[in-house]
Amino acid sequence: MKIYIEDLTFDCIIGVLEHERVTPQKIIVNFECEYEFYDGIYLDYATIADDIVDIVTKGEFKLLEEAIIAINDSLLKEYNISDIKIKITKPDILPNVKVSVSN
CATH 1.10.1240.10 fits 2-102, yes or no: no
| pLDDT per residue as tens digits for the range 2-55 | 999 999 999 999 999 999 999 999 999 999 999 999 898 889 999 999 999 999
pTM: 0.94
CB 46 within 8 A of CB 54: no
Domain extents in the chain: 2-102
Tell me what pLDDT residue 49 has. Answer: 98
Q: CA 70 to CA 51: how far, in whole Å?
A: 11
